[in-house]
């Protein structure tokens, strides 16, 4: 039992670490949505094509340097045109662009075409924090602002209070109130801004969309794993642009249901109850049941 508990804790810590930037991290964050998996594949696909082209051009340059220098080729050719070469270097780039364009357009369509959704989250960018509102029927009164936790001691205190690894509350990313969504549900996200242009970006979800005053942009995600995931504003929006993170905690459906019921009265208290249930180490069903009892 001790081994299983330790393994679960390490697994949770690993998932939390995977959902945020890490030191010397040069690759994309691990995907937790289908869209992000497609983006990761497309990134590797285009990188492969680019690498082949660069190596081919490098080989041609080296061949020209060593084969046609003045010592190796003292009498240069006077040829100025070659029909076959000109046809090839015109058609080949077109074919390469077509090969790239087909999966690119398919991915773009998939990103903007919102499927049948289970819930709607409205996001508003402010200078310099995010505001959230659950826009579904019965949840209209659930709205809150989410601000960066600037105090180092407070971050560590939260991790200790909820018996979570400190990696779940990283510097410059941890917030005072997290967004709670259920796992394996399509979440429609409506994004706008109240002052200047912001950008709502969640790398692990494959989501990045501008928040523009007077305009309602729309995107979506379907998180496939529970855990805490972090993003940031990705549009230079003023003095504190670097200090408006996004934190979304994905939980099981029964935990979300209990949280949603309690959040209609007090969002902060509901979130604290959810984190206490998770910290207690209960099963998903027990955690949801305990929250429902606390709500009643």
Instruction: For domain 34-112, say whether CATH 3.40.1710 is its number.
Output: no
Angle CA(138)–CA(142)–CA(258) in degrees, nearest 5?
Answer: 70
Q: Is the pLDDT of residue 12 over 90?
A: no
Burial class (CB in 10 A: 0-12, 13-18, 19+), 152: exposed
Rounded-to-integer distance, Cα 63 and Cα 52, Å:
16
Q: Which residues pair with 130 in a beta bridge?
A: 125, 146
Return the percentage of the chain with pLDDT > 70, whole number: 88
Token pair 């995907």 in the structure block, residue: 31
Q: What is the model's pTM?
A: 0.82
Residue 11 has a pLDDT of: 39
Q: Is the pLDDT of residue 286 over 70?
A: no
Q: Is the pLDDT higher at 118 or at 288?
A: 118
In the CATH hierarchy, which fold is given to the domain comprising 119-295?
Answer: Immunoglobulin-like (2.60.40)
Q: Is the pLDDT of residue 65 over 50?
A: yes
Write out pLDDT tens, residues 180-239: 999 999 999 999 999 999 999 999 999 999 999 999 999 999 999 999 999 999 999 999
Q: Any idea where the domains of the chain sit in the sequence?
A: 34-112, 119-295
What is the rounded average pLDDT of the residues 7-26?
55
Angle CA(260)–CA(265)–CA(269) in degrees, nearest 5?
Answer: 80
């Amino acid at each position: 039992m001790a081994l299983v508990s330790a393994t679960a804790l390490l697994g949770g810590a690993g998932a939390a670490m995977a959902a945020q930037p890490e030191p010397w991290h040069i690759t994309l964050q691990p995907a937790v949505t289908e869209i992000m998996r497609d983006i990761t594949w497309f990134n590797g696909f285009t990188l492969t094509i680019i690498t082949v082209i660069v190596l081919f051009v490098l080989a041609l340059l080296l061949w020209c340097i060593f084969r046609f220098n003045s010592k190796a080729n003292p009498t240069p050719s006077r040829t100025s045109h070659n029909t076959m070469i000109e046809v090839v270097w015109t058609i080949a780039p077109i074919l390469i662009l077509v090969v790239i364009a087909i999966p690119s357009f398919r991915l773009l369509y998939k990103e903007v075409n919102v499927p049948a959704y289970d819930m709607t989250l409205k996001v508003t960018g402010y200078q310099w924090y995010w505001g959230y509102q659950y826009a579904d029927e019965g949840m209209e009164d659930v709205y809150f602002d989410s601000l960066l936790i600037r105090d180092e001691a407070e971050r560590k205190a939260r991790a200790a209070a909820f018996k979570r690894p400190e990696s779940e509350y990283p510097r410059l990313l941890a917030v005072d109130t997290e967004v709670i969504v259920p796992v394996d549900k399509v979440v429609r996200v409506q994004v706008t801004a109240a002052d200047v242009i912001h950008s709502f970006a969640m790398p692990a979800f494959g989501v990045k969309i501008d928040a523009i005053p007077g305009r309602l942009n729309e995107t979506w995600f379907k998180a496939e794993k529970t855990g805490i995931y972090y993003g940031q504003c990705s549009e230079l929006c003023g003095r504190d642009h670097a200090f408006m993170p996004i934190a979304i905690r994905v939980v099981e459906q029964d935990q979300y249901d209990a949280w949603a019921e309690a959040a209609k009265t007090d969002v902060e208290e509901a979130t604290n109850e959810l984190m206490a249930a998770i910290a207690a180490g209960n099963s998903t069903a027990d955690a949801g049941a305990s929250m429902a009892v606390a709500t009643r």
